[in-house]
Amino acid sequence: MGKETISPKRILVVTAVEAEREAVWRGVEGDPRFYVAAGGAGPAAAAAFAARELAAGEYGLVVSAGIGGGFPDRAPVGAVVVASEIVAADLGAESPEGFIGIDELGFGIGRVRPPEGLADELAAAMRESGIEALAGPVLTVATATGTAETARKLAERVEGAAAEAMEGFGVAAAARLFGRPVMEIRGISNAVGPRDRAAWRIGDALKALEAAGRTLKEWFR
């Protein structure tokens, strides 16, 4: 299993904002297979946008990409996380006994996996290019984490949680609806934990994202 199992002629990359789109574009520039577009922040905007694009064009792979928060001791600022699974981490119900995920509630799926082995392979290719990269679960949340307590709860909820962002599961839901494989790539701008917007290193994360885009382009030759 791995990238041999998919040979995308066209690849849709969905970011949240324009600065992320530009960073990915600098990485994949000159490769006509890639369409990189900013679809808005949050899972709903991302899902609606990706679904519209997938209805309009033939894509062999869909990628959610952007900056993200890294879980402490897993993904440092400036690193890249490639999602081994894309997890709807706050989609479900609270109960006195704790959080109940959407799948456990019986209302749908709460995790989407990229094709087997792809995340590990891409992360390894990035490391070979000198990028600090790892594969691990990337959580999608509708509310960015802003306290140590929420960070701890999410890390307990999802084993090996590496990063969090706000669009991956939306893009993955659209890809799944259209029967397309999906991946998620995050350049880490901040630690998941107490909110400190002034400490976000967006420039470093966007540089990491650009480098990740470059590897993605070479890797799918």
Ligand X SMILES: O=C(O)c1cccc(C(=O)CC[C@H]2O[C@@H](n3cnc4c(=O)[nH]cnc43)[C@H](O)[C@@H]2O)c1
What count of Cα atoms within 13 Å lies in the side-chain half-sphere of residue 156? 9
Residue with tokens 């002629």: 9
191 DSSP β-pair partners:
70
Site for ligand X in 81-140 (CB under 6 A): none
Please state the φ and ψ torsions of residue 32, each to the nearest 5 degrees: -70, -10
* Distance (Å) of CA 165 to CA 9, 32, 194: 27, 27, 15
Rule CB under 6 A: is residue 167 a binding residue for ligand X? yes
Q: Which two tokens stand for residue 130?
A: 């000198």
Rule CB under 6 A: is residue 155 a binding residue for ligand X? no
Q: Which of 20, 53, 121, 184 binds ligand X (CB under 6 A)?
A: 20
Rule CB under 6 A: is residue 190 a binding residue for ligand X? yes
The minimum distance between CB 69 and ligand X, in angstroms, equals: 2
11 DSSP β-pair partners:
34, 61
Count other C-beta atoms under 10 Å from residue 37's C-beta.
16
Choose one: 12-20, 79-87, 118-126, 213-221; the region binding ligand X (CB under 6 A). Answer: 12-20
Choose one: 49-57, 122-130, 160-168, 213-221; the region binding ligand X (CB under 6 A). Answer: 160-168
The minimum distance between CB 192 and ligand X, in angstroms, equals: 5
For ligand X, how many residues bind (rule: CB under 6 A)? Answer: 20
Rule CB under 6 A: is residue 145 a binding residue for ligand X? yes
Radius of gyration of the chain measured on its C-alpha atoms: 16
Q: Which is nearer to ligand X, 68 or 137 (CB)?
A: 68
Q: Which is nearer to ligand X, 169 or 220 (CB)?
A: 169
Rule CB under 6 A: is residue 173 a binding residue for ligand X? no
Classify the C-alpha dihedral 142-45-80-20 as positive or negative. Answer: negative
Positions touching ligand X (CB under 6 A) are 16-17, 19-20, 41, 66-69, 141, 144-145, 164-167, 189-190, 192, 202
